[in-house]
Amino acid sequence: MNCSTITPTIVIHGGAWAIPESLLEASCVGVQNAARAGYQILVGEGGSALDAVQAAVRVLEDDPAFDAGTGSVLNVAGDVEMDAIIMEGQHLKTGAVAGVKNIRNPINLARMVMDKTDHVMLVGEGANLFASKMGISQVPKEELVTQENIKAWEHYYKFKLTVEDLFSNRGDNNNTYGHDTVGAVAVDIHGNVACATSTGGITAKMVGRVGDSPIIGCGAYCDNAVGAVSTTGHGESIMKVTLARDVLYNMQQGMSSQAAAEKSLDYMTERLAGAGGVVVVSNHGDIGYHFTTERMAWASAKDGILNYGINPKETLTGKLLTEAS
């Protein structure tokens, strides 16, 4: 691959679900902020895709509009358990954490699993012990939870709804209590791709439930030979079809990033009636994004242009501030 022809590109998602009107503006602003943060790294001297997706997801984790880090939802016991994964496409190095508590930025912990251990994933108490060893300070649960998420937990706990009730295909319902994953994919000027995904899970999930987000090939996957994918939606369905890897497989068969995204999500709908969304970037900067839920906040930055949207077939243009501005 001729790296001189590669345009640094990043694509963000803030979760595919029935995003209510009250969160539309915050969701759109949040994914744009994340795209700017990641793009600043990509266009900086020597900026890597890996650092870019980590920075972008960290912005989303710090934004209470999203279900990751600050803003995470509560499990059935009223506690917060978070999952995250980060991966790079040159050597397929991966770091993931699942069921971690009291960590403001799980994506940073996942990156440390990648860089500081010989493992791919740490879970639960072991992940928190590793965080302490690495000097990551823990925060009270109350700093991670919003009043809206407490109300959502009370609603689902009262009516004993299941995880399947939290997601539906477009038009099936008008749920306003669901919440979902955040993620980012990028390619840098060197032709390296990377992906990152982070989540607080699903409201009122069982204690110890782990969804697709931290699972390699499901919540995220990348390979320099093809591209990078981050997924969002009903985790159980995504795991059953290994959605992220399926998108890359379709690209390997010659499909564009967009066509691959659409085919994989259509298959998940046909096979399992599962709803979700993906963001994709190829190893030469071809962008794809698609969702089968009511809405998905997304943003992309490429060639100095910031695009974003939240409704089906919607593309808007925002302001992209770079170091040259």
Cα(215)–Cα(241) distance, integer angstroms: 12
Paired tokens of 30: 């949040």
- Candidate list 70, 181, 203, 242, residue with the active-site label: 181
Cα(296)–Cα(197) distance, integer angstroms: 15
For the four alpha carbons of 211, 36, 66 and 17, in that order, the dihedral sign comes to negative
Q: What is the C-alpha end-to-end distance of the chain, expressed in Å?
A: 31
Catalytic residue list contains 9: no
The length of the chain is: 325
Q: Could you tell me which residues are beta bridge partners of residue 300?
A: 11, 307
319 backbone φψ class: left, alpha, beta (φ>0; ψ -120 to 50) = beta
Position of tokens 């345009």?
7
Cα(19)–Cα(91) distance, integer angstroms: 36
Paired tokens of 195: 């992906």
Catalytic residues: 181
